[in-house]
Every structure is written in structure tokens, then in C-alpha cells.
């Protein structure tokens, strides 16, 4: 069973039809790179997957469960658990400034553990959460920054914290929206290396990026989105090496 199936996802803002029917399947452990020119709808697509925008119509199926279903003109149905199926790393990091790095990681799991319906006693849960935070900080190479505040970190370090924070709740699919485009060029490398290191058979990732080299090296699958539609998809070799569509070719030419 595929970990993610997106069926005919559509979204419009007023008269502007931004997503014109996106269909996609992704297997567990796959990395999908999403490329496309500015305004094509890449961000909107990720935001719909993370329910920051509600798609007007279409279906999102995770592990065989339909977590989101919308029919044009009706209120969409969202499973309560849907949100945690996805994680999102923002272009602008969006760390919580008043919390230290480790507190940023722990905040959401901690608040969830505090809720009445939580199965584990709070104290026990807290210990596990702290351990997991330490592990993830090590993964992104920021163990020694655990007690620093976001304003004391470089952009690249902030983005690595944001990645660790998104991983705390073990989402089925982790999404990145241009994770390095707010960074100085010399800082993009450290973030891309961390993302690459996350790749394993358990983690499924969707990465919107303008870093073509990175997409080519890390992705198992690439889609090119243009004007709200998937214009081309395939393996990196197929899309970058021998693109079928004229639009893709033009885009790749202009980008390199």
C-alpha cells in the first residue's frame, strides 16, 4: 500500500485556479522533489497537504486511510488524526522565539502529553520526550545548542532546529517548502546535508526546492509543477536527463 495518495486535488483563490487537479502516489521511504517556476502552486500544494489551506476538492489518503476528502462547494471532511500525518518545515523556519532550542522541540509533544486523553503519565512522557529531543538534536548536529535561543542561531542552525522540531512527532510524511531559499548561500550546504542524512527506508519526504543539483541527487521521484498541474514526473534521470515536455525543458534551461 502506498503511504500517500493524492487524488485530484484542486484549490482556487477567488478566480485564480491555483491547483488544477494534482494526482500523486508516494511509497514509504521515498523522497519526492517538487520543482517548478514561481507562482506555479508548489507552496499551495504543500499547504493543502498540511491543512493550512483547505483544498476545494480532492482526496488525501495516508496509509490507506482517507484523511481528507472534499467535494466542491461542501465543507471538507478531515480526520482528527490527519494533521499529525504530515510535518512541515517552512521557508522562514518559524521557530518559537521565547523558547530555547530544546523547548522548541519539546513544546508540542509536551502539550499533547498533558492532555487528558493521553495514555502515559505526564512525568514518564516528559522523560521520553526529552530523550527524543536529545537524539534529534544530535541528528541535526546541534547538541551543544540545546539551551540557546533562536535569536542566537544562524539561519542554517535555525532551519536545522525546525527540521528536528518537525520530526519530534514522527510524521508519516515530512514536507519542506524551499528549506534553503531564505538562507545565505554559504549556509545552504549544512541544511541540505542534514536533509540528505534523514533519508532512510522509514522516512517519506516531499521537498519543494530550487536546488536542482540537490533534487537530482537526493530524490527518488521528481515532479515539475506548472500552472497548477503536474507537467512532468518521473525519476531524476528521466525528468532532468530527458524531459518530455517543452515547458520542463524551458524551465530546466532557464534555471541552470
Partner 1 sequence: MALFLEVCSQLAGGFVTAFLLFLLTLIFSLPLGLLMSFCTMSKFAPLRVLFKIIVWVLRGTPLMLQIFAIFYLPGLLKWFVWPTMNTGWVWFDTTFTTRFIAALVAFVINYAAYFSEIFRGGIQSISQGQYEAGQVLGLTRREVFFKIVLLQVIKRIIPPMSNEIITLIKDTSLANTIGVLELIWEAKDFMVLDGLIWPLFIAGAFYLIFVGVLTIAFNKIEKKLDYFKA
Ligand X SMILES: Nc1ncnc2c1ncn2[C@@H]1O[C@H](COP(=O)(O)OP(=O)(O)OP(=O)(O)O)[C@@H](O)[C@H]1O
Q: Residues interacting with ligand X, by CB under 6 A?
A: 13, 16, 18, 36, 38-44
The entry of partner 1, Mg ion, ligand X, none near residue 7 (CB within 5 to 8 angstroms by kind) is none
- Return the CA Rg of the chain: 19
Shortest reach from residue 227's CB to ligand X, in Å:
9
Identify the residue among 3, 43, 85, 172 touching Mg ion (CB under 5 A). 43
The entry of partner 1, Mg ion, ligand X, none near residue 86 (CB within 5 to 8 angstroms by kind) is partner 1
Torsional sign, CA 197, 199, 201, 202: positive
3-state helix, strand, coil in the chain (%, to 5): 40, 25, 35
C-alpha–C-alpha distance, residues 93 and 110, integer Å:
20
Shortest reach from residue 177's CB to Mg ion, in Å:
6
Shortest reach from residue 142's CB to ligand X, in Å:
27
- Residue at shortest CB range from Mg ion: 43
**DSSP-assigned beta bridge partners for residue 63:** none
Provide the binding-site residues for partner 1, judged by CB under 8 A: 50-52, 83-84, 86-88, 90, 92, 94-98, 107-108, 111-112, 149-151, 165-166, 168-169
The entry of partner 1, Mg ion, ligand X, none near residue 122 (CB within 5 to 8 angstroms by kind) is none
C-alpha–C-alpha distance, residues 163 and 142, integer Å:
11
The C-alpha cell at 201 is 527506508
Which CB atom, from 20 or from 203, has the smaller least distance to partner 1?
203
50 interacts with Mg ion by CB under 5 A: no
Q: Phi/psi zone of residue 224: left (φ > 0), alpha (ψ -120 to 50 degrees), beta?
A: beta
Q: Which helix (H) or strand (E) holds 44?
A: helix 42-49
Residues binding Mg ion (CB under 5 A):
43
Amino acid at each position: 500500500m502506498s503511504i500517500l495518495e493524492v487524488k485530484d486535488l484542486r484549490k482556487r483563490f477567488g478566480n485564480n485556479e491555483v491547483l488544477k487537479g494534482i494526482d500523486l502516489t508516494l511509497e514509504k521511504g521515498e523522497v519526492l522533489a517538487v520543482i517548478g517556476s514561481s507562482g506555479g502552486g508548489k507552496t499551495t500544494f504543500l499547504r493543502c497537504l498540511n491543512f493550512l489551506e483547505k483544498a476545494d476538492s480532492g482526496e488525501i489518503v495516508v496509509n490507506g486511510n482517507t484523511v481528507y476528502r472534499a467535494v466542491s462547494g461542501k465543507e471538507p471532511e478531515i480526520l482528527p488524526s490527519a494533521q499529525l500525518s504530515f510535518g512541515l518545515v517552512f521557508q522562514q523556519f518559524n521557530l518559537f522565539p521565547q523558547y530555547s532550542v530544546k523547548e522548541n522541540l519539546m513544546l508540542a509533544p509536551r502539550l499533547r502529553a498533558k492532555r487528558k486523553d493521553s495514555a502515559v503519565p505526564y512525568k514518564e512522557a516528559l522523560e521520553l520526550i526529552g530523550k527524543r529531543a536529545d537524539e534529534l538534536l544530535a541528528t541535526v548536529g546541534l547538541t551543544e545548542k540545546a539551551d540557546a535561543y533562536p535569536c542566537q542561531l544562524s539561519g542554517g542552525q535555525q532551519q536545522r532546529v525546525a527540521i528536528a522540531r518537525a520530526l519530534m512527532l514522527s510524521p508519516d510524511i515530512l514536507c519542506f517548502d524551499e528549506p534553503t531559499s531564505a538562507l545565505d548561500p554559504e549556509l545552504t550546504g549544512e541544511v541540505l546535508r542534514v536533509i540528505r542524512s534523514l533519508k532512510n527506508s522509514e522516512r517519506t519526504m516531499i521537498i519543494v526546492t530550487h536546488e536542482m543539483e540537490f533534487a537530482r541527487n537526493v530524490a527518488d521521484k521528481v515532479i515539475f509543477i506548472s500552472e497548477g498541474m503536474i507537467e512532468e514526473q518521473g525519476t531524476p534521470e528521466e525528468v532532468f536527463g530527458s524531459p518530455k515536455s517543452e515547458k520542463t525543458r524551458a524551465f530546466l534551461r532557464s534555471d541552470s
